Copies of this chain bind each other. A is one copy, B any other.
Amino acid sequence: MNNDVSLVSPLAPARFPSLPAIAGLEAAIGRAGFYKHERPDLLLMRAPPETQAAGVFTTNAVGSAPTDWCKRALAESKGRARGLLVNAGCANAFTGADGDAACKRSLEAAATRLGLTPDEMMAASTGVIGVVLDDSKIARALPAMETGPVDWLTAAQAIGTTDTFPKGAGAACEIGGTKINIAGIAKGSGMIAPDMATMLAFVFTDAALSAAALDTMLREECETSFNSITVDGDRSTNDCVLLFATGASKMPSIADAKDDRLSGFRASLSQVLADLAIQIVRDGEGATKLVTVSVSGAASHASAKKIARTICESPLVKTAIAGEDANWGRIVAAVGRADEPIVRKQLSVRFGDLWAAKNGAVAPDYNEAAMSAYMKRPELEIAVIVGPGEGRARMFTCDLTKRYIEINGDYRS
């Protein structure tokens, strides 16, 4: 976490939200010393005995020791996980067998501290890659880490890296008449200096849900939240979203994600994940604009998403937005190079309520002055119609500014 107020993203929310309590959930923060400056860099959490968990992990083929651990542990335990150890400052990625061993030792120590077994532990690391985790630093920090009721703000701060503000989101809903809480924290701000680690999110609920139901819902909801954001297109080795359901609400457990009683919960979970995901974009490295790109009329959802992603990751589109230039031609060009079926004569582009292009040419009522005024807003909505199809998708991104180059290019200077 960067604590220099002058460096806080101009898109940051006014304050950290008030998150609902998840009964029985405990946390402690600590300092292992992965950073030279004074800051917490460890988060330890313990959930009640009945907790079920699910995770979605990076598809980066290089991966990392902690994501490898979580995937294996969740598969072997069939979603029983009660402990979580997160460190910032070292990603423990691309570290081979030494990295795996260090991850395992750190989880053994954390499990002992929590009165759990290592196979009940989840791990997440974020920071420099290619450096083996120095688990002795974690072992030395653990004795001072006394878990208690969760302070979400300090937990969110402990897992941040180049983040300029802590990220949290929560919701309350009902399942079959029982009041249910959801609370989550995340970190992410592009890929971080000097490297990756990118995005982590941990979401907790007191609902009683099977690991299978959690897994299905998490995967589906990630599609429109964490899998619909892009700051720079650089998917990291350590990305990880974990969802824990403690069952503390005492509702009768639900095993099937398709259960009708879950409709309200699904909506709330969706909202929490989207909220966290968009907060990550708001903290995109160097970001001054939050941009929502909606593509409709595509051949399929996947096709719409690929087009949206091509727009969102175009350096030319992103620099034009940084320059407050309604350069719709660059959007059209990005659509054209997405290698997806489009109908050129129907291609239309709208900024907010203002049409820039309509049916394959500049809009007849194109108004440069109105467009320029719109582009000065901190939050922009770009809608693109690419044909007569039913496929639609929405992605979130930010602009590309000189500050991004500074953060990522001048790191060692």
Contacts and interface: CB of A to CB of B under 8 A. Distances in A.
A14 interface: no
Interface string A115-145: 0000000000000111100000000000000
A400 interface: yes
User: What interface size band does chain A fall in?
Assistant: 35 or more
A357 interface: yes
- In the complex, the count of this chain's copies comes to 2
B234 A347 contact: no
Interface stretch (A54-62, A153-161, A176-184, A264-272): A54-62
A119 to B, nearest CB: 24
Given A95-B361, A194-B325, A60 B128 contact: no
Nearest to A192: B316
Nearest to A95: B361
Contact of A96 (B130, B191, B333, B360): B360
B405 A329 contact: no
Given A96-B345, A408-B320, A336 B60 contact: yes
Interface in A329-345: 329-330, 332-340, 342, 344-345
Contacts of A361: 94-96, 98, 130
A384 to B, nearest CB: 12
Interface in A282-340: 313-316, 319-320, 322-325, 327-330, 332-340
Nearest to A327: B194
Contacts of A252: none
Contact of A316 (B191, B337, B406): B191
A6 interface: no
A359 to B, nearest CB: 8
A410 B323 contact: yes
A250 interface: no
Contacts of A362: 94, 130-131
A236 interface: yes
Interface string A226-247: 0000001111110000000000
19 contacts: A61-B335, A61-B338, A62-B333, A94-B332, A94-B357, A94-B361, A94-B362, A98-B361, A194-B320, A195-B330, A234-B333, A315-B315, A319-B409, A320-B409, A323-B411, A323-B412, A323-B413, A400-B405, A404-B405
Given A61-B342, A322-B409, 9 more contacts: A61-B344, A62-B336, A93-B333, A194-B327, A195-B327, A315-B315, A323-B410, A325-B409, A402-B406
A-B complex: 8 closest residue pairs judged by Cβ atoms = A62-B336, A323-B409, A319-B408, A60-B336, A129-B329, A319-B409, A195-B329, A235-B337
